[in-house]
Amino acid sequence: MSISDKKKTWQDTTVAKNIAKAPERKAEFRTTSNIELERCFTPDFDYPAHDESLGFPGQYPFTRGVQPTMYRGRFWTMRQYAGFGTAKESNERYKYLLQAGQTGLSVAFDLPTQMGYDSDAAMAAGEVGKVGVAIDSLADMEVLFDGIPLDQVSTSMTINSTAAILLAMYIAVAEKQGVSPDKISGTIQNDILKEYMARGTYIYPPQESMRIITDIFAYCKDCVPKWNTISISGYHIREAGSSAVQEVAFTLADGIAYVDAAVKAGLAVDEFAPRLAFFFNAHNNLLEEVAKFRAARRMWSKIMKERFGAKDPRSMMLRFHTQTAGCTLTAQQPDNNIMRVTIQALAAVLGGTQSLHTNSRDEALALPTEDSVRIALRTQQVIAYESGAADSIDPLAGSFLVESLTDQIEEAASAYIEKIDKLGGAVEAISRGFQQKEIQDSAYAYQRAIETEDLIIVGVNKFTVKGEAAPELLKIKEEVEIAQRKSLAEMKAGRDNGKVQEALKALEAAAKGTDNLMPPILDAVRAYATLGEIADVMRGVFGVHRETVVL
């Protein structure tokens, strides 16, 4: 069948069905010169070298996108990662962002919450509410989402070692709003493997952490079917200093480990794989980043089909959220970060992301101000409504440069995955420090290139300005920690502590046995057991992980 015949078949079937479900944003897509744009551009002649690997949007191997109409059906979800101080302050920021046109929430938690400590713990001193919102119990979660109907908004939560607890709190808040778990939608990051190799907010040893993750898969499959149970993250791998190729390779290797663990736990691939999601970084090299996203999609589809025998096309789709690269933001001349973020956001859109967060200009210095957040959100809106980049599906497909980069990234990332397989898989390779060493070497080479000016960073090692004024910054006051500890003490004094202890004992019994952990965690949350109390029960049973030292 010729390319033109295949294109007609694709338009007559897949696209038609998709448009019937979600009409296109407008009847016609035209340039400012009144030139009409096709939905999807393909060569008018047979191109065997790329025909099979390119295909069409919404079809295996999904190189060109996971939906047949992509942004012509609807734009990507526009999220702004936010959270600071108390739940009340963060709730106010979420409402501000929703009023400004944000289409999905993205919650940032403070370090004690991420690490399983309550705000009154000694380990939490000085960190309460600093890099995210402090959540100690269901009471805080109720305030965080006060006035926000959870059946009408999709919420992403960047949380890993305590993901099961925060998901349980979200479910409980929805219940209090009268919304059943099968009606809520969103994502928990829940990707512990990248924590061991690149970020560090782990609690339990790898095998016990993998059990919690597969328990979440199994529970949500039956009870919270619209929830994305994991966001397999390359973002933090890239932030730690990896290359684009390493980001793809190590992320997909982690994905393989999660799928393998779930299958070994007795889950059928097509029961849980459609709810897997990914999270990637958008860095500065525009065309490499576009090719990276396309290569990752194609690789994952092949992995799921050929390695795990998936039959459902949804199991083969790599759906992903993107965040612009925090590691590229500079404290020097922070307004330059607006341009960097624009390029990175454009790369994500041209690469076919399903969801996007754009960093704010002042995030190399502090949490972003409202003005900075608004500019970051407006960046997405300008790309969506004014640039024309979203008017045709996979607009850079067929570019000799982009297709060559896509092929080369796939080849190099596949070679890394083969190395990891030979080491026994991602978990074993992490325990040996393989990925950590590769990331460290890459980060060192990148920094050396900056210092020798082989790589120019505008405003840092070239085009510098002396005596530049510091911008106005958002600062978290020390009173936040005092207030949070006070409210936590009041909550503990007012709850039924006998009920709390009963729920925690049931959780301990489940952790020592083989029962799914989500139901007892949810019961503990409903009784207003704190995040720290729940995490401590599992610490007592599972132990804690100690970092692998890479020499």
Q: What is the DSSP string of 128-155?
A: TTSSSB---SHHHHHHHTTT--TTS-EE
- Residue 381 inside a domain? The answer is yes
8 A C-beta contact, residue 440 and residue 334: no
Tokens of 534: 């729940």
In whole angstroms, give the CA distance from residue 23 to residue 16: 10
- Residue 487 inside a domain? The answer is no
Q: What is the DSSP string of 266-316?
A: T--HHHHGGGEEEEEEE-S-HHHHHHHHHHHHHHHHHIIIIIS---SGGGG
**Backbone angles phi and psi of 459, in degrees to 5:** 90, -10
Cα dihedral: 436, 437, 443, 448 (round 10): 160
- Residue 273 inside a domain? The answer is yes
- Residue 250 inside a domain? The answer is yes
- Residue 104 inside a domain? The answer is yes
- Residue 417 inside a domain? The answer is yes
Strand stretches in 24-147, DSSP E? 77-82, 104-108
Domain extent, residue 146, equals: 70-451
8 A C-beta contact, residue 272 and residue 315: no
Q: Give bridge partners of residue 282 from the DSSP assignment.
A: 324
The CATH code of the domain that includes 279 is: 3.20.20.240
- Residue 271 inside a domain? The answer is yes
Q: Is 26 helix (H, G, I), strand (E, B) or coil?
A: coil
Tokens of 245: 């190729």
Tokens of 128: 């309460």
In whole angstroms, give the CA distance from residue 77 to residue 355: 4
Peptide bond into 61 cis (omega under 30): yes
* Residue among 155, 147, 148, 121 at smallest CA distance from 136: 121
- Residue 498 inside a domain? The answer is no
In whole angstroms, give the CA distance from residue 290 to residue 166: 33
In whole angstroms, give the CA distance from residue 59 to residue 46: 18
| Cβ within 8 Å of residue 58, ≥6 positions away | 10, 14, 15, 18, 65, 66, 67, 68, 69
The pLDDT of residue 50? 47
Total tally of structural domains belonging to the chain = 1
Q: Is 542 helix (H, G, I), strand (E, B) or coil?
A: helix
Cα dihedral: 273, 275, 280, 282 (round 10): 130
* Residue among 356, 390, 351 at smallest CA distance from 376: 356
In whole angstroms, give the CA distance from residue 152 to residue 542: 37
Question: pLDDT in tens for each of the 551 residues of the chain?
Answer: 666 777 777 777 776 676 666 666 765 788 888 888 888 888 765 554 445 678 899 999 999 999 999 999 899 999 888 899 999 999 999 999 999 999 889 999 999 999 999 999 999 999 999 999 999 999 999 999 999 999 999 999 999 999 999 999 999 999 999 999 999 999 999 999 999 999 999 999 999 999 999 999 999 999 999 999 999 999 999 999 999 999 999 999 999 999 999 999 999 999 999 999 999 999 999 999 999 999 999 999 999 999 999 999 999 999 999 999 999 999 999 999 999 999 999 999 999 999 999 999 999 999 899 999 999 999 999 999 999 999 999 999 999 999 999 999 999 999 999 999 999 999 999 999 999 999 999 999 999 999 999 999 999 999 999 888 778 888 888 899 999 999 999 999 999 999 999 999 999 999 999 999 999 999 999 999 999 999 999 999 999 998 866 55
Taking each helix axis as running N to C, give the angle between helix 244-264 and helix 206-223, from 0 to 180 degrees, rounded to the nearest 10: 70
